[in-house]
Every structure is written in structure tokens, then in C-alpha cells.
Amino acid sequence: MANHTKNSLLEAITVSSEQGRAIPDAATGETMGYVPQHTIADLEAAVAAAHEAQPAWAALGHAKRSEILHKMADEVEAHAEDLAQIISQEQGKPLGGMGSRFEVGGCAVWLRSAAETPLEPELLFEADGTRSEMHFAPVGVVGAISPWNWPAMIAIWQIAPSLRMGNTVVAKPSEYTPLSVLALIELLRRHVPEGVLTGISGDREIGAALAAHEGIDKLMFTGSTRTGREIVKSSANNLARLTLELGGNDPGIVLPGTDVKAVAEQIFGGVFINTGQTCASLKRLYVHDSVYDELVEALGTLAEAAKLGPGLDEDSQLGPLTTAQQFRIVSELVEDAKARGGRIVTGGEAAPDLGPHFYKPTIVADIDDGARLVDEEQFGPVLPVIRYSDVEDAVARANASDQALGASIWGDKDEARKLAERIESGTVWVNQHGTLNPMVPFGGVKQSGYGLEFGSHGLKAVANPKVITF
């Protein structure tokens, strides 16, 4: 078990029970702290302060802002363990592996990447003494609404490029994981003037007010497709520019003759990272007849061996589901799969002895399209494995979803590479799934959103293009 030492960072952001709202430990349900309950008036003040601070922040120039982002990364690294423990308690992911320490490390990496990515004016046209260039100017004030599954890292994906480009930011974390984001912002704010970065915690009313606020010039949102539609409606009032990274029901296709031993562990990792609570995790797996039984058995063995436990337990590989709502969704989808004749290879039930929201890692075989578990995003530790006999049919089924964030193809690299061009998805991975690179653009198509994050494309997304002709 982890050593439960005093967490000075948690103490810095929490308030008394009389002043705030209780935030439960995801594993135990016990209160880990009280978060400030900000109001619409607090939001108004934050947006006003952001507008006041923005011109001077932009005037610092790219080099100085990049220097500050590096100092922010240093600060995050200096307080990495305190921040990781907050994330593990509040969100539930384990400290080790691809868990909360990995998430904190990712925050530092993405801060440094945003600082170091070059973005020079682009030459558009030059002839007969005339030259046209594309420049990238700050948008102004960015509203950043982040989710509960990777609370700190996704907040950084929004905050870091926005600050680098000379914008100020008002950030609103999920009401389920506000402490993780407020703790992160507490560290970042130590290096910027007042008003440049403000965290506002609260319920959906605060998020809706931020999305519709006339003082917001750009809105970045990661979350459900349903909420994304509401944000699009709200943006009609202020014509804020949008980057939306919404839900995904990522398919994987395992080709005929694939070496199961070579890919099983990577497929398992692509499914169960963060207990399956990842937008771009692998959520439905189409496997050719020739390797179906072998792969189902291999995945079942890996699921049986995975250590489920509290995030602060150093031995845990998978944690609890973060919210009661998500636990209920996962449970309902598995029960529906059972009712349709799906075969539970392993798991298929809760683990109440561990805590209120623990669900055993589950592999469901002999299931098909049309089952809720296949057609809907489960966002939890459950994988439906669907048999196919014709590759063309598998591609068609993979493309049938309205959501298209990520996808993967497993097997012969050359054949997979050709098929990747035919998959309707923002990203297609070959013999891997969910691997992200701060220099490689990421975003969805169809109802998984629009706009790109990361690298130079991510910087441009939080800038206003300006053509200068001379």
C-alpha cells in the first residue's frame, strides 16, 4: 500500500466543509476533501480578469511565454507525487503503470512540447514584388472545459497551447474531478500574472455559462457527444471558435493469420488503460475466424491476471470506475450482453468487496453488432470480441458507427496500412492503439467532434489566422 503522508498540495486547494462540496475518494467513497463552489459571479470575475490580463500576456512574445511554460513543467515535476496521489484518489487510476504518475509526467511533456513547437509565418504567395504571409495571432480568452477521465493531462492539452499562443484561460474541470485540475492550476499559476489562468469549479450550470459567455473567444471541450451538441448551440450566441473532442467507440480489426502472442498484450493495454475510461481506448474488437478462439483465450487470461484495486495501492493495475453513473452504465451493458447470449469469458460482475464502483475486467465473446455493448460506448473495463470471416465485412462494420475518434488494425503491417486508409476515423493505428504523441495532431471526425490538438496544428487551433500582404 502507498504511504499516506500529508499532501500539502491538496491542503492548498481545499476548503472547509462549510465552504465547499465534498469530493469522494473513487475507491472508498469517503470524503477526500472539499472543493470551492464557485458561482456565476466568480465566473464573470474570472472572464473579466482574463480580458484585462490578455494584452500584456500576448505582448511578452513567444520566447518568453515558452520560457514560462518550461518553468511550469519544472513546477509540476517538483510536485509530481502529491499531484499523482490526488488524481489516484479522486479519479481512481492506479499510481503506477499507465496511471496517475504517467498522467503527471504527460502534463510536463505536453507543457514542454507546447513551449518548443515552432510556428513561423507561412508564405502563401510571392511574385512581382508582392508577398502574402499567414500569421497566427492570439484568439483572446479561451474557455477550457475538461473531463474526469484524464483530468490533469487533458486540462494541459487545452491550457498549454492556449497560453503559448498568447491567450488567457478560464478552465472549468469536471464536477467529478475538480481537485486534480485545481491542484494542477495551483502549480501553473505560480508562474503567471493574475488573470492569465483561472480555475472555476462548479456544476453543469457553470460549464453552460462558460460555453455561452460573450467574453469567451475560443472554447475547448473534451467530453460526451451529447454535451458537445449543447456547446455547439451555445456558441451560436458568441460565435466562439470551437475545438471539440467527443466520445468514441473505437474499433479494432485483427486480420487473418495474425500472431496472437505478438499482439495480445498490446490489445489488452489498448482496451483497459485507465480501466477502459479513455475516449480513444479500444472498445470493440473484430477478430478473424482463424485466430478468434486463440485471441479470446489470451485476452481472458490477461484479464484474469490483472490486479484490480484502489488507486493508492502500489500493486493495483486497474482501479474503480470513477462515478456511480459510469458503474451503472457498464453494469447495464454487460447484463444486456448476457441476455443476448454473449459469453462471459471472464469477469462480468462487480467486485463490491473492493469498494462501491469496482467492476471486474471483462471479456465478452460470441456477441455481434446490434448488441448495446458493441453499438454504444461502454467507457469501462469491458471488451466485446466479435467474430468475422470476411475482411471487407469487418471494415464495413468498423465504419458503421456514428463515432469515429480512433481505430486500429492488427496483423501484417503492409496489409493493415492499406486498410487504414479505408477506415473512417480521426486516427488509425497499426499494431498499436491509443498511442499519442504531443507532436502528432489528434482529433475526431463524424460525431466524435472536430478540430485538432497537439503540435503546430494544435497551436493554430487556438490562434486567429491573419493574412498580411505587402
Per-residue pLDDT in tens (0 to 9) along the chain, 470 residues: 444 568 999 999 999 999 999 999 999 999 999 999 999 999 999 999 999 999 999 999 999 999 999 999 999 999 999 999 999 999 999 999 999 999 999 999 999 999 999 999 999 999 999 999 999 999 999 999 999 999 999 999 999 999 999 999 999 999 999 999 999 999 999 999 999 999 999 999 999 999 999 999 999 999 999 999 999 999 888 899 999 999 999 999 999 999 999 999 999 999 999 999 999 999 999 999 999 999 999 999 999 999 999 999 999 999 999 999 999 999 999 999 999 999 999 999 999 999 999 999 999 999 999 999 999 999 999 999 999 999 999 999 999 999 999 999 999 999 999 999 999 999 999 999 999 999 999 999 999 999 999 999 999 999 999 999 99
Q: In this structure, are residues 414 and 407 in contact, taking their beta carbons and an 8 Å threshold?
A: no
Rg (CA), the chain: 23
| Secondary structure letter of residue 255 according to DSSP | P
8-246+448-469 and 250-430 share one CATH topology? Answer: no
Report the pLDDT value the prediction gives residue 48, as an integer from 0 to 100.
98
261 HSE (CA, 13 A, CB side): 0
Beta-sheet pairing, 282-288 with 31-36: unpaired
CATH number of 8-246+448-469: 3.40.605.10
**CB-CB contact of 458 with 161 (8 Å):** yes
Match 488573470 to its residue by C-alpha cell.
Answer: 195
Largest CA distance in the chain: 77
The b/e string for 378-404 (b: 16+ C-beta within 10 A; e otherwise) is bbbbbbbbbbbeebeebbebbeebebb
CATH architecture, domain defined by 250-430: 3-Layer(aba) Sandwich (3.40)
Name, in order, each residue with C-beta under 8 angstroms of 232's C-beta and a sequence gap of 6 or more: 242, 244
CB 163 within 8 A of CB 196: yes
Identify each DSSP E strand in 139-206 by its residue range. 141-145, 168-172, 197-199
Residues in a beta bridge with 288: 388
Q: Which of 46, 285, 244 is nearest to 147 (CA)?
A: 244
Residue 176, C-beta contacts closer than 8 angstroms, at least 6 positions apart: 90, 148, 322, 323
Residue 148 DSSP code: S
Distance CA 170, CA 145 (A): 9
**Active-site residue numbers?**
245, 279
Nine-digit cell string for 462: 487556438
Interatomic CA distance for residues 58 and 193, integer angstroms? 12
What pTM was estimated for this model as a whole? 0.97
Query: How far, in Å, CA of 301 to CA of 95, rounded?
Result: 23
Helices (H) and strands (E) in the chain, counts: 16, 20
Is 301 within 8 Å of 339 (Cβ atoms)?
A: no
Q: Does residue 285 contact residue 383 with C-beta atoms inside 8 Å?
A: yes
CA torsion sign, 443 to 204 to 107 to 103?
negative
Sorted by where each begins, the domain ranges of the chain are: 8-246+448-469, 250-430
Place of cell 483530468: 151
